């Protein structure tokens, strides 16, 4: 079974998806980490980020590896920590925008998602990567709450810079931020992680054979 968890940055996807996967005993697949790893490698190699063909080639040659313990590697380098740096935050939408990069990523994401039960987190999972996912959830939260959560994750960055980053990322991600028509919309503002997880778990149990 595939559980698709989509939504904008700061809506609570990662925390919820990871916890849900643990509870269900499913694999957790963070597709944002894949775009981040590719962005990191392109920057490391000094590639121009406006060249979709070169970036797609790079993605093809260096598939992102996601370990069961949550480590992320690309080209044999462990990038788990570096992909969370703010320079990657800022540049990943530039890389993720190229259709040929997305085509390579999508193929790899489908391969990984289909290898058994998985909770898959991203922006376009329920619409494009796994349109036949048995459970689709689209998480939202108000912007102030999303900025607060980001601040907790990125303590070194000021509130204004974070709010601007969030707005710019929303704008660049907007094309892919459509909930699937059959997705369950959950507003996580003011909700505890465990409450959100329990709601999605109910949806999963309802789809599982008795
Ligand atoms: O969820 P995140 O912040 O780690 O995602 C990083 C970037 O990758 C974000 O700008 C949106 C993009 N992304 C995407 O375009 N499609 C996905 N399935 C996942 C992430």
Which ligand 1 atom is nearest residue 176's CA?
A: 15
Local confidence pLDDT in tens for the 210 residues of the chain:
999 999 998 889 999 999 999 999 999 999 999 999 999 999 999 999 999 999 999 999 999 999 988 899 999 999 999 999 989 988 999 999 999 999 999 999 999 999 889 999 999 999 999 999 999 999 999 988 888 887 777 777 777 877 887 888 788 777 777 899 999 999 999 999 999 999 999 999 999 877
In the chain, which segments carry CATH 3.40.50.300? 1-26+118-210, 38-116
d(CA 117, CA 172): 31
Contacts of 89 (CB under 8 A, 6+ apart): 154, 165, 169
User: Nearest to residue 117, comparing CAs of 142, 138, 135, 90?
Assistant: 135
Predicted pLDDT of residue 209: 75
CA-angle at 176, arms to 122 and 19, nearest 5°? 15
Chain centre to alpha carbon of residue 94:
15
How far is the centre of ligand 1, averaged over its atoms, from the C-alpha of 209 (Å)? 32
9 lines ligand 1 (CB under 6 A): yes
Q: Which residues pair with 184 in a beta bridge?
A: 137
User: Nearest to residue 2, comparing CAs of 206, 204, 209, 205?
Assistant: 204
What's the pTM? 0.92
Predicted pLDDT of residue 172: 77
Q: Which residue owns the Cα nearest ligand 1 atom 14?
A: 123
1-26+118-210: CATH topology: Rossmann fold (3.40.50)
Predicted pLDDT of residue 160: 80
38-116: CATH topology: Rossmann fold (3.40.50)
CA-angle at 46, arms to 40 and 51, nearest 5°? 85
75 lines ligand 1 (CB under 6 A): no
Q: Which residue owns the Cα nearest ligand 1 atom 4?
A: 32
* Token reading at 22: 């643990």
31 lines ligand 1 (CB under 6 A): yes
Name the strand (E) or helix (H) holding 122: strand 118-122
């Amino acid at each position: 079974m595939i559980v698709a968890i989509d939504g904008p940055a700061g809506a609570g996807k990662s925390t919820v998806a990871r916890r849900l996967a643990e509870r269900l005993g499913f694999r957790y697949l963070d597709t944002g980490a894949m775009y981040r790893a590719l962005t990191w490698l392109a920057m490391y190699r000094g590639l121009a980020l406006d060249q979709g063909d070169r970036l797609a080639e790079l993605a093809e040659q260096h598939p992102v590896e996601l370990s069961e313990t949550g480590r992320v590697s690309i080209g044999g380098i462990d990038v788990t920590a570096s992909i969370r740096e703010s320079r990657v935050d800022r540049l990943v939408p530039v890389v993720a925008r190229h259709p040929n990069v997305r085509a390579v990523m999508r193929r790899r994401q489908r391969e990984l998602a289909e290898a058994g039960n998985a909770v898959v987190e991203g922006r376009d999972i329920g619409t494009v990567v796994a349109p036949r996912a048995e459970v689709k959830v689209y998480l939202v939260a108000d912007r102030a709450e999303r900025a607060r959560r980001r601040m907790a994750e990125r303590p070194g960055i000021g509130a204004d810079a974070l709010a601007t980053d969030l707005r710019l990322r929303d704008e660049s991600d907007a094309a892919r931020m459509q909930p699937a028509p059959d997705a369950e919309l959950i507003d996580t503002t003011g909700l505890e992680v465990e409450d959100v997880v329990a709601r999605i778990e109910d949806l999963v149990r309802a789809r599982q054979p008795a």
